Structure formats: structure tokens, C-alpha cells
Chains A and B, each alone.
Chain A
Amino acid sequence: MSVDISQFVAAFLEESYEGLDIMESSLLDLDSADDETINSIFRAAHSIKGGAGTFGLDEVANFTHIVETILDALRSGEMAISADLVNLLLEAVDCIRALLAASQGDTEADQETINSVHSRLKAAQGSSANTAQHASPSVNDSAPTEQLWEVQFIPNADLLAQGHRPEAMFSALSDLGVIEAKLLTSKVPALDELDPELCYLSWALQLRSSHTQDEIEEIFEWVIDDCDLSIKPLSPASMSGEHRFHIQFKPHADLLHTGNDPYFIFDALKQQGALKVNLDSSNLPQLNDLNPEQLYLNWTLELTSETPTDEIKEIFEWVEASAEINIEVKSTGQSSPTPIQTRSTTQTASTASQPVEQAVNPVKPSQTSKAVAAKSGVKATSSEPSSIRVETNKIDALINRVGELVITQAMLSQVGTELSEDENAGILAERLTDGLMQLERNTRDLQQDVMRVRMMPISFVFNRFPRLVHDVSSKLSKKVELKLSGEQTEIDKTVMEKLGDPMVHLVRNSLDHGLETPEERKSKGKPEVGTLLLKAYHQSGNVIIEIIDDGRGLNTARIREKALSSGLINAEQNLSDDDIHDLIFQPGFSTADAVSDLSGRGVGMDVVRRNIESLGGHVSAQSKKDVGATITVSLPLTLAIMDGQLVRLGEDTYIIPLVSIVETIQASDETLSSIGGERRLLHYRDEYIALIDMKVLFNLPATPKNASNLIAIVEHSGEKLALRVDELLGQQQVVIKSLEVNFKRIEGLSGATILGDGSVALILDIAGIDKRSHNQQILADEIFSSLSTH
């Protein structure tokens, strides 16, 4: 059977990129590394290598192989972690990413960089052997602390015949410390099959002792060739309740007939923790004897999980009758997927690895506090919630369908209401109304649920920042601690995708301009390490993101100076500090002393503002000299729905986004003033704002004069506009539909929606209206001047 594997490439790439992200975030977290962090990096590298090999991406596979080798050395402790090595590995992650992208023909990988990283990796790998040998004895001398050991002792059947006595060994063990032994009798056969001269027993021991692994192993010295022995340390943290289950699963040949699929069982187990599956196919007959309806396979499963044994047993509940199942709780143990196995052959390796484990641990307490902040983000991603991968367009289709359902439901409700008002309708109409009310409730719930499918935690944006801050701050030789808060705040995927670039810009700005060098900070009496806090939270239907630094703050005087010189403001203007801070979002504004590689090219904050406003949000800056600056970004929860004010223009219904409406007023004639004929201004609370007659702007049929002075005051980019409309209708939540998909972008309109009666209403785009009215005025001016010259 041949399988076209090309269809899996996309999934492989997606997983690989995710793996690289995990590697990256874990590497940054390595200061405070526990074994699990290194393991997760290793696992990610390992699966990328494996996948790349399968899909014939040899370059990726070869490159990743070296990385994996180094990671393995780190994991086993043969190599020590250093800042340089972490940086090198981060570069290697970039290279793998580039190679993956290149394999899809997206970009050309920078071969030079890759070669240089490659050779440096090789060099690092080469030097590892020496350092490890030097390192181990010195660590061995360090004062032993009491530790918990787990000893697995599975003697061969003929152990007793060799003259060994387990109980003697156990008593020797108990001399080393407190011992707890568990007898495992699973291999004991039925009585009539029992050979009294053989040993069917095995033991799981827990030893609390200050002795080293070598000393424990010494006790088993004589039996090491006649048994399966594993000795490993239990770190106190992992004792919290993680069990290592050893499950033997021998289904009967007819298991498949019962409708059970072992795959589902494994899948369920995988949800509980780290699962290692060993397949035993020794019972598989010759091909011509094989009955395709029979199951010949056995499995041995290793599960590391916090789940109690009962729940694990429950997973096998359905196959209990048709399989031999043997679940052993081996011990509480490390969550490491590859425990240190000590057999006679691998003895040397394990002794070498042991001391370094101790060497890593003491680093922990001093470093933890520093890494806590960044770590919380990493943890969120590495813990794997049960999920499925769905294409976005499937979700969009679902949302559309539900939108349709809501409209249909509204139509039915209307019919129901009309029917119940009919006196002859009777009891049936009443029942219909009840049913319709229930339908309304259900559809509304359904709509909310479906909308939530699109929501993702903002950590997907935040997670790129530990790396960015790491890179940028070392480039600028500044000391920065990044703190994240509220990463679980959910936001629409579309909003999030467009949020990344503005956020990068804002963070770089803070790093570059906001935070000072360590010397400068010291002289100001601040701690050397600057703090950058990214904070997200929900507030009244919006997502608020704050970028807070404790740097020098915005230089109000300089901004003012600069704005004056570039003509953004004039000298007479009396501006509050907040007004001045707002100037940094003006096009072409930059106070950077020098144009640097990072930011300060004079384009930036205005682009940030534009991007964020295109998402229906806004951005503002607060600052206090030498205390720090806060950039606040406010975004709508979703782009798919919004609150709208329905207005009537002539015969048509239009929608003004509720967020942009400041106030709706009935203007008196006195407040309207005209300049040069048609163009008019509205006197509104001590300011004159441009009045736009929407029907004139849209070339709609005119209505009788003075029919309405209803005005909606709207705001965009801090500028107010007065829109004259014919009537204010209701407010409602509308589903935003694109006009572009089947038609085109129309200036002044941001989209359309479908009203309860199935008709289409157009949604006004305030920025577009402003632009449009400008164009119209320019045109009018041109006509006027051409008329007067001729």
C-alpha cells in the first residue's frame, strides 16, 4: 500500500513551527531550567528531525540532528548550560525555521548564516566531552543532601538459583537510609505452573538516603547481570502526585470484533499525561496465516500522569472482558520520558549523568524569582489542552451559517408575533410563540458559542516577546526584565493576527527609547534592571493592552519642540501634557536622537495608530518623567460583530458604529453656521466642527429643506465630525459582512450587514467619510476657481 505523504507536509510544517516556538520559549526559560524544560526542547527538536527525515527534508534533518545531539548532552548533563550556548541554540532555532521556510520555496535560506551556526554547533558539541569529564568529579565532592531514590528491581527468574538473596540486599539498602519496599507479584503464574525454584517476584523500592547512586548500585553489584535494575532520583517537586504507570495490554484476538479500537484507548491515555507506547508484535503470524480480523498485537505502555489509578483503569473499562490488562503503579517518579536505566551495559553513562543533575538543581532557587514572569507565558503554551485543529474558513462558514439562522429566527419571530395578535389564532399560536421564544434563546446562545470559537488567548501574541526582548536588550546592552500579565485574555483571531506588528513596534520603542542603560538607571537611583510589563485585560467589551515601562518617560519638552519645528503645532497653542504625548502618533514624528537599527526612523507610531484604528481600536500614551511611560491600546473583542446605531438616510438604512458616536443631538438652526454658501459648521460645546450632510455626500435624493437637523457627532483619530441624518432608528448588534468579497471597497463604507428582515444595510466608515468629504470640498473649490477664472 502506498500512501501519498505530501498531504501531511502542511501539518508537519505547522507542528514544526509550533515546536520551534516551544524550543524558543523554553530556551529563554532555561536559566531556571528543570529537567522538563530541557526535555521539552529536546522532544521538539527530535520530532522536527524525525518529520523532516520522513518528508525528505534532509537539510533540516541534518541540521536539527546536531542541535538534538547538543540538547541530548545538555539533558544528560554531559554539557553545561551557558548563556552563549543558549544564544547559539536560539540562532539554530532561527536557522531551522529558515530552512523549513526555504523547503517550501517561500524564501531563500541564508546559507552563510546556517553554515556559520552549523560549524559553531559542531564546535560546541566537540568541546562538550572534555568539560563534562572535568566537571563531574568536582560536583561529586559537593556535600551530599538527603534525597529520595527510586529503585526498580526485577530479577531474572533464575536469581535464586545463582545463590542471591534479595532480602539480604534490601537489608543492606536499609542501612543506607529509610526504605519502603513494594512487592510486585504480577508475574507469579498459576499454582500448577509454578516452579518453586524460580523467582517470579519483582520489587519497587523507595529509598530516602544521603548516599550517592554509586553507593546504592554497589549493593546490587553481584546481581547486576541477573536482573533489570533501575535507580533514579526523585526530585521533591515531582513527588507531588505524578505516577508512572506501567500498563501491559494484551487484547484477545477478537478485540476488534467488540468494536473497540486500541488507538482510542491510547488516545485517551495520552490526554492524561506523557505516554510511551511499546508495540510487541512477536505474536504476528506469517502473512499467509494472518486473519485480518484478528488482533495479534500486544502493547506495553508507560504513562506518566497525575491521574489516580482508578481513572486509568476506567479507560480500559470497555475492553476489560476482551483483554488482559495489567496496570502497575511503578512509583512516583520524574516526568522524564526516558528514566535513567541502569543495566550492566549502560552503567557508565548513568553514573556520568547523575552528578550533573545535582549540579543543575542548586541553581534553581536563586533564579526562580527572576524568571517567574516570563515563565507563566511559556507554561500556558506548553501545557496541552485537549484540542482539535480546524481550518479557519470552516469556522467562518459556521459563523455565517449561524448568522443566517439568527436572521431566519428573527423572521419567524415576526410572523409569530403577527399571528398571536390575530384573535382567531387560538391555542396553536400561543404554543408557536412559546416555541419561538425558546428558539430565540437557543440561537442567541449558539451564536455566542460560535463566536467564542474564534477567540484565542492573547498569549499567542505575547509569546514572541520574551525572545524579542532578549535579543533587543542584549543588542542595546540594557538589562530588561519582561513581565507578562493577563495572557489568557481572549481576543478574536483576526484582531490578534493584525495586532502582532504594532505590538512589536511599541515594545521596541519602549526598549529603545523608554528604558535607560544600566549606568543611567543607577545614577537616577533606579534598579539597574528595567521592567517592561505587557498587560492585557477586558474592559467593557474591549480588550485593553498596556505596554508599561519604568524608563525615562516621554520627553514632553522635546516633543513640543519637535512638533513646533515640523509645523504640527504653533507656538500659541496651549496644549496639555496629554495632548503633547498624543503628538507622537502624528505622521512623520520622531524624537529619536539617532536613527538606529531598531526604531526611530520617524515612521512608526503613526503607522501603529493607523493599524490599530483600522481594527476599530485606539491607542494613547501616558507618561511621567523618569517614572515611565504607558502605551494603552484598546481593541474591540471581535471584528465579526459590533454594536451599531441604525440611521435612516432617505429610504435607506445605514449603520454607524456605536463606538465612534460621541453624541446624537437635535441641532437648532442657530448652532449651524455657514461659510461660503453650502459648507457648514456646527457649533458644538465651544468648538466648531465640520457638518456633513450624508445625503449630499452620498448623492442620495434630497429631502425637503429643514426636514431634519438630527446630527450624530462622531469621532475618529481624535477629530470630530457632525453627520446629518434623517432619522435615528434602533441600536443593535450587527454581524459585519464584507463588501469586498463579491464587489469592491467603497470609500465611506466599511462593510454591510443583514437586518432582521433579510435586507442589507451598509455600515459607515467614519475615516472614509472624512476623506470623502475632503475630496468633495477640494472638487467644489476647483470648480469654483475654474468658474471664476473663465
Chain B
Amino acid sequence: MNAEPQSVDKTANHGIASNGQKQFLSFLLDDEEYGVDILRVQELRGWTPVTRVPDMPEYLRGVLNLRGAIIPVVDLRCKFGLKPIKYGPTTVVIVVKVDSGSSERIMGIIVDAVAETYTLDLESIQPAPKVGSAINARFITGLVAQNERMIVLLDIDELMNSDELATEFQADTLGELN
């Protein structure tokens, strides 16, 4: 996969405040802290059971009713290959707006808990190194150190348009069947 560290440029393209700063919402998966562009976050919801959609990868937990709209919900732990935990009172569904080319989609991300909001200087964001992990390097826009913790900044559009989440229907889903 393409792991060129072009991600910093990408962040810069996203339309930021003029003073070179940008706000992020951070959340936890295990002990790791991740951040997403706060302007992409529509709302936060407590965990409620979702309706399973047949024949979907495990990380796609199902769909849920967001005030009349049907939105898909992704378990980020599962997507990132972390071991599953039981959903509890801190489990949060982050509802995000995803740019899927021709349309904007509303989708949900299940995370362990929401942590902080940060205002970050763009200069302080470092490009992500090539790491051989379950997390595809495409999904990462950069790393940033905050309060002696590392925060992984995620590219929501790349993440939520990958694989099975892509808008176009793949007629060739036969491979999934066994």
C-alpha cells in the first residue's frame, strides 16, 4: 500500500483556521489516543444496540436510527485489529460527516471513550512513520505529542471510505462468502 508520508500536506489542505491551528477531538482505544478533525464530528451518542447487516465484515457492527436516518456504525477497535471488549457506559458512538466524493455520508464510529479536545499548531504535527500494523498508513494524517502522550490523527475520509465501506457496490462480493 502507498505509505508515502504525504499526509501533512493533506492536513494543510483541509481548510484550517488562519492562525495555523486546528481543533481535534480525541478518543481512546485501549490506552491509545486518537484524534479526528472536530469539524467532522456531528455529535456523540451513548452506545445503543444496532441492527446487524448481513454479510458484512465484523468491524461493521450494523446500522442505527439517527433521528430517522439510517447510518452504518463501525467498531474501530475491531477495524484496527484490537481485541474486542464489552460495550459499557463510557462506550461512545462518534457520529462523523464523511466526504465520499459525490456525496456526504453520516457514519458512526464506536470508541472506548471520548478524551479531550485539543487545539493544535499545524507545525507540531509530524508525519506518520511507516509502521507495519493493522492500521493502514493511509488512515493516518500525522502524529502529535500532547501532555507526553502520542496522539494519532486519523483521516476520516480515508478511513470511512475504505474496503467494505466504499460507496460503490462491489458485485464481486463472492470472495466474502467463504
Within 8 A of B (CB), among A735-790: 737-739, 741-749, 752, 754, 758-762, 775-776, 778-779, 783
- Tell me whether A404 is interfacial, beta carbon within 8 Å: yes
Within 8 A of B (CB), among A629-655: 652
The complex places the Cα of A697 from the Cα of B177 at a distance, in Å, of 9
Closest to B69 in A: A742
> B interface vs A, CB < 8 Å?
49-55, 62-65, 67-72, 103, 105-107, 165-169, 171, 173-174, 177-178
B67-A775 in contact (CB<8A): no
B70-A742 in contact (CB<8A): yes
- The one of B50, B55, B67, B72 in contact with A743, judged by C-beta atoms closer than 8 angstroms, is B72
**With known contacts A743-B72, A744-B169, A760-B70, A779–B177 Cβ distance under 8 A:** yes
Q: Mark A256-282, 1 if CB is under 8 A from B, else 0.
A: 000000000000000000000000000
Closest to B103 in A: A741
A742-B174 in contact (CB<8A): no
The complex places the Cα of A400 from the Cα of B166 at a distance, in Å, of 26
A747-B173 in contact (CB<8A): yes
B54-A748 in contact (CB<8A): yes
B68-A698 in contact (CB<8A): no
- Tell me whether A598 is interfacial, beta carbon within 8 Å: no
Complex contacts, B174 vs chain A, CB 8 Å? 775, 778-779
- Tell me whether A700 is interfacial, beta carbon within 8 Å: yes
Complex contacts, B106 vs chain A, CB 8 Å? 742
- Tell me whether A699 is interfacial, beta carbon within 8 Å: yes
- The one of A400, A698, A737, A752 in contact with B54, judged by C-beta atoms closer than 8 angstroms, is A698
The complex places the Cα of A775 from the Cα of B177 at a distance, in Å, of 10
Question: Taking each of A400, A742, A760, which has the highest tally of chain B beta carbons within 10 Å of its own beta carbon?
Answer: A742
A652-B51 in contact (CB<8A): yes
Nearest chain A CB to B171 CB, angstrom units: 8
Nearest chain A CB to B56 CB, angstrom units: 8
A404-B68 in contact (CB<8A): yes
B178-A652 in contact (CB<8A): no
> A interface vs B, CB < 8 Å?
400-401, 403-404, 652, 697-700, 737-739, 741-749, 752, 754, 758-762, 775-776, 778-779, 783
A743-B68 in contact (CB<8A): no
Complex contacts, A400 vs chain B, CB 8 Å? 68-69
A760-B168 in contact (CB<8A): no
- The one of A697, A700, A739 in contact with B70, judged by C-beta atoms closer than 8 angstroms, is A739
The complex places the Cα of A738 from the Cα of B70 at a distance, in Å, of 7
The complex places the Cα of A738 from the Cα of B103 at a distance, in Å, of 14
Complex contacts, B105 vs chain A, CB 8 Å? 741-743
Complex contacts, B178 vs chain A, CB 8 Å? 779, 783
B169-A745 in contact (CB<8A): yes
The complex places the Cα of A401 from the Cα of B71 at a distance, in Å, of 17
Closest to A754 in B: B65
Complex contacts, A699 vs chain B, CB 8 Å? 54-55, 177
Complex contacts, B62 vs chain A, CB 8 Å? 760
The complex places the Cα of A556 from the Cα of B105 at a distance, in Å, of 51
- The one of A403, A742, A761, A776 in contact with B72, judged by C-beta atoms closer than 8 angstroms, is A742
The complex places the Cα of A747 from the Cα of B68 at a distance, in Å, of 22
B54-A743 in contact (CB<8A): no
The 10 closest A-B pairs by CB, nearest first: A698-B54, A760-B51, A743-B72, A400-B68, A742-B105, A745-B169, A742-B71, A752-B70, A404-B68, A742-B106
Nearest chain B CB to A787 CB, angstrom units: 12
A776-B177 in contact (CB<8A): yes
Question: Taking each of B51, B67, B174, which has the highest tally of chain A beta carbons within 10 Å of its own beta carbon?
Answer: B51
Complex contacts, A738 vs chain B, CB 8 Å? 70
Complex contacts, B53 vs chain A, CB 8 Å? 746, 749, 762
Nearest chain A CB to B53 CB, angstrom units: 7
Complex contacts, B68 vs chain A, CB 8 Å? 400-401, 403-404, 737, 754
The complex places the Cα of A313 from the Cα of B134 at a distance, in Å, of 80
Q: Can you list 11 contacts pairing A with B, beta carbon distance less than 8 Å?
A: A404-B68, A699-B177, A737-B68, A741-B69, A741-B70, A743-B107, A744-B165, A744-B167, A747-B173, A779-B177, A779-B178
